[in-house]
């Protein structure tokens, strides 16, 4: 058993280190990118194609967005563009921000509405106000900075981005194959998510949110309570000893291992969304990780049943265990609120918790029935008041067996 626990602990921390390494490597290209003007953005998402990134901060009070569009792997004889399509999708109707190096050698940024396939991205006003736009070019990367006043009543839009060559002062058409024909999707400035043209996720960020939710709901929210049910109700049956203990340990250590993986995805999500905070969810998650780690290590220090400190260990183990279960269920619901719209998941989890609770209530009643029946049976077998020494001897034997 000690070898099993050590193996599970090592695997859990290995998973955590892998997540942390992945987090560090990926954030070097996105949320940890340092702009030369020291500007910070609340959200960053890598766009799925054309080596591009979109950073932004959404301000709900005035419905504006400060953004930076980065396009890597280009030269200063290229043009780059990013835009929103308010009423359509893809290119036609896109309201674009464009950057290139002009004839005087300066990096020039301007707005351009796309009205047809033959566009040369001529400068013009957009359908929404753009109070600020500027651009820079360094290390084969264009960066467009802009402030957008979003159309009222919505935060989710279709987006498109492109690049092409410049000949003289004429913008050449972009490539008609490969990634240049797949550079479109959706963006929601309020919740920080990107999607494909049909609205499905195309970035790893939303998938990580779902993986994070599933891992933690299954581990902390389901396996932990199940492990407690095994420990409390199975040990009343003599035939289940010591099977209940191994089931309890298997459930709790599995929950901890899966929970560490979920915690790792949470760290990655937090590092990718520096401006999006779910403080209650985060703080409870950190507390659960610490308490869960204490519980796992406490198994390695468990005194023998007849040890004088076993009573205190039991009190500690039960108190921490039930605290973890309560906080776990609370934090799962906090997570559902953070997912913002996953009502089916929430309903499914409520059903699971109700089922576990109902089973626990039934087992609690049945356990008390078994215990009371067993006490009555022992009382009839070993009566306390007797008329001969045989009864007294029997009573003493019974007391010795109980001890």
Q: Give the rounded distance of the alpha carbon of 107 from its chain centre.
A: 39
Helix (H, G, I), strand (E, B) or coil at 308: coil
As a dihedral over the C-alpha atoms of residue 299, residue 300, residue 301, residue 306, rounded to 10 degrees, the angle is 70
* Residue 55 assigned ligand-binding role: no
Q: What gap in Å lies between CA 146 and CA 61, rounded to an integer?
A: 18
121-126 contact pairs (CB < 8 A, 24+): 121/79, 121/81, 121/96, 121/171, 123/98, 126/95, 126/96
* Residue 129 assigned ligand-binding role: no
How many other CB atoms are there within 10 angstroms of residue 36's CB atom? 8
Residues 6+ apart with CB under 8 A from 345: 213, 217, 336, 339
Q: What gap in Å lies between CA 377 and CA 373, rounded to an integer?
A: 6
Task: Please give the helix or strand (H or E) that residue 55 lies within, else none.
Answer: strand 52-59
Q: What gap in Å lies between CA 94 and CA 78, rounded to an integer?
A: 20
Which of 160, 136, 159 lies closest to 146, judged by CA? 136
* Residue 318 assigned ligand-binding role: no
Which residue numbers belong to the known binding site for heme b? 212, 248, 281, 317
Which residue numbers belong to the known binding site? 212, 248, 281, 317
């Amino acid at each position: 058993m000690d070898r099993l626990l050590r193996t599970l602990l090592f695997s859990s921390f290995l998973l955590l280190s892998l997540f942390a390494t992945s987090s560090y490597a990926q954030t070097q290209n996105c949320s940890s990118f340092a702009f030369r003007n020291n500007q910070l953005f609340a959200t960053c998402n890598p766009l799925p194609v054309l080596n591009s990134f979109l950073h932004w901060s959404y301000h709900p009070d005035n419905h504006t967005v400060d953004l930076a569009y980065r396009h890597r792997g280009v030269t200063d004889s290229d043009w780059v563009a990013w835009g929103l399509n308010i009423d359509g999708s893809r290119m036609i109707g896109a309201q674009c921000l464009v950057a290139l190096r002009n004839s005087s050698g300066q990096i020039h940024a301007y707005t351009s509405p796309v009205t047809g396939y033959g566009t040369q991205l001529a400068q013009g006003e957009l359908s929404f106000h753009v109070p600020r736009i500027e651009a820079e070019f360094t290390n084969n990367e264009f960066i467009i900075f802009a402030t957008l006043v979003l159309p009222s009543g919505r935060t989710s839009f279709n987006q498109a981005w492109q690049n092409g060559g410049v000949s003289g002062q004429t913008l050449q058409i972009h490539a008609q194959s490969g990634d240049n024909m797949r550079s479109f999707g959706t963006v929601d400035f309020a919740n920080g998510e990107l999607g494909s043209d049909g609205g499905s996720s195309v970035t790893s960020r939303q998938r990580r949110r779902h993986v994070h939710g599933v891992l933690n709901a299954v581990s902390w929210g389901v396996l932990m309570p199940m492990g407690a049910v095994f420990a409390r109700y199975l040990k009343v049956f003599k035939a289940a000893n010591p099977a209940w203990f191994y089931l309890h340990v298997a459930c709790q250590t599995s929950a901890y291992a899966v929970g560490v993986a979920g915690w790792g995805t949470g760290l990655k999500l937090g590092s990718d969304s520096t401006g999006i905070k779910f403080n209650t969810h985060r703080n409870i998650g950190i507390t659960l990780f610490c308490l869960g780690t204490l519980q796992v290590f406490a198994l390695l220090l468990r005194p023998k049943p007849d040890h004088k400190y076993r009573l205190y260990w039991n009190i500690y183990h039960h108190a921490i265990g039930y605290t973890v279960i309560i906080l776990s269920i609370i934090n799962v619901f906090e997570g559902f609120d953070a997912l913002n719209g996953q009502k089916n998941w929430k309903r499914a989890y409520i059903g699971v918790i109700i089922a576990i609770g109902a089973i626990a209530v039934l087992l609690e009643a049945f356990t008390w029935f078994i215990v009371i029946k067993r006490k009555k049976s022992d009382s009839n077998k070993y009566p306390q008041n007797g008329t001969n020494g045989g009864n007294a001897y029997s009573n003493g034997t019974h007391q010795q067996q109980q001890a």
